[in-house]
Amino acid sequence: MVYPAYSELENRTLERFAAVSKLSFTLDAISYAAVSILGVLLFGELLKEDIMDNMAQRDGKLSPIIRTLFTIVLVLTLPFIFQATKLQSLVLHDEIVNRSISQKVEELARASRDKRLEASRLIASREEDAENLNTLDINDQKMIGSADEVIVESQDGSKKSRSSDESH
């Protein structure tokens, strides 16, 4: 899932979104590396899995400041971590109660089926029109071939009628 960063991005393009994502992941990796390095430098072999355990044992003003900052980071991060779960739960609840997605899918399927039926009717209609045109052409040829008289225009512009037997 992509967090709402893309929708909040000014002048949205995939290239800009990719650049912003790369930058944020890079800054995130740098901050994790910095905390790791500082933890090792600060506590050495006494470093525990959870750096907060080490901070609790430390005296002075640094420990409460770091724990407060960690709490702020945690409070600001958790909503993003659980956003996907929250959205999926809401979508699932909406589907169970209102069948919103199912109804939309059924509408799209119905519209697609109607378009296919209309297209097949149109094709059948055009095939029928083509058959009718062929039948008309054949009938026209029969009528022309069975004509008893042929009208012939002479050189002086007068028209004479003679039977098709005489013309052969």
Domain residue ranges in the chain = 1-47, 59-98, 99-140
**Of the candidates 90, 88, 113, 91, which has an alpha carbon nearest to the alpha carbon of residue 102?**
91
Q: Which long-range contacts (CB under 8 A, 24 or more apart) does 91-95 make?
A: none
Q: What angle do CA 106, 109, 114 make, to 5 degrees?
A: 125
Tell me, yes or no, if the pTM score tops 0.85.
no
> Which tokens belong to 118?
């209309």
Convert the pLDDT of each residue in 17-54 to its tens digit. Answer: 888 889 989 998 998 898 888 878 877 888 788 777 77
55 Cβ partners below 8 Å, 6+ apart?
63, 66, 67, 70
| Predicted pLDDT of residue 164 | 47
pLDDT of 26: 93
Q: Rounded to whole angstroms, how far apart are CA atoms 165 and 148?
A: 8
pLDDT for position 148:
44
Are 1 and 81 contacting, i.e. CB atoms less than 8 angstroms apart? Answer: no
Residues of the chain scoring pLDDT < 70: 1-4, 80-81, 136-168
pLDDT at position 158 is 58
Distance CA 35, CA 114 (A): 61
